[in-house]
Amino acid sequence: MANSIRIAAAQMTSVNDLSANFTTCSRLVKEAVAAGAKLLCFPENFSYVGAKTGDSLTIAESLDGPIMKKYCSLAKDSNIWLSLGGFQEKGYDDSHLRNTHVLIDNSGNIRSTYRKMHLFDVDVPGGAVYKESSFTEAGRDIVTADSPFGRLGLTVCYDLRFPELYQRLRFDHGAEVLLVPAAFTKVTGEAHWEILLRARAIETQCYVIAAAQGGKHSDGRESYGDTLIIDPWGTVIGRYRTGFDWHCCCGY
């Protein structure tokens, strides 16, 4: 990989307002560019978090729709690569969407897409019951993409609990940097977030960039936050714990 490439990971608290979230993302892009970042990674559900389960179906659209076109223009106008984890892509029918990680280059072109394979169907101890599969179509394909930052392995959130995916990204597909945009719950994040990310870095000898949702959303759900950048030794080299902001890290 090239030397002294600066990358950034953003943390935000998305709400049920597409325009407000785009404004936040635009500000974070501007600040990251000013700091010299060439890649900015956003968390899962960066563009929208509904007020109740299934709300995302009402705003889901194709990758050539107006929402994604705005983010492509943002990347092009800012001359920066964007990792957009967890976009609500329209599914095979009106009752389903795809939780899609979209990678955009600095010319505003979509370079790769990954549909989340492992869906969050969990009864959180002492918390809510989640059934992502009730409205989300699971992906099937493992995805890597070549970039100026090395070969990127694309994943989303709950995938983190399935180490075989990361083993295959690294050893079958040659990934050097693993992207893990997420919206971990507060309970599960406190218990497992950092240790799982560090484990994925160590066992694959890859860099891990984990942009996270943090704080309380429109639906009252609280995301854990703690955006992390981790090196192949498992050392945390970049961290942002609370609020919404970006964190830059010189790498590679």
Active-site residue set: 44, 116, 157
* 3-class secondary structure per residue, the chain: CCCCEEEEEEEECCCCCHHHHHHHHHHHHHHHHHCCCCEEEECCCCCCCCCCCCHHHHCCECCCCHHHHHHHHHHHHHCCEEEEEEEEEECCCCCCEEEEEEEECCCCCEEEEEECCCCCEEECCCCCEEEHHHCECCCCCCEEEEECCEEEEECCHHHHHCHHHHHHHHHCCCCCEEECCECCEHHHHHHHHHHHHHHHHHHHCCEEEECEEEEECCCCCEEECCEEEECCCCCEEEEECCCCEEEEEEEC
Radius of gyration (C-alpha) of the chain in whole angstroms: 16
The Cα 237–Cα 217 span in angstroms is 28
Residue 14's Cβ-side half-sphere holds a number of Cα atoms within 13 Å equal to: 27
Token look-up 């992502």 returns 132
Q: Are 97 and 91 in contact (CB under 8 A)?
A: yes
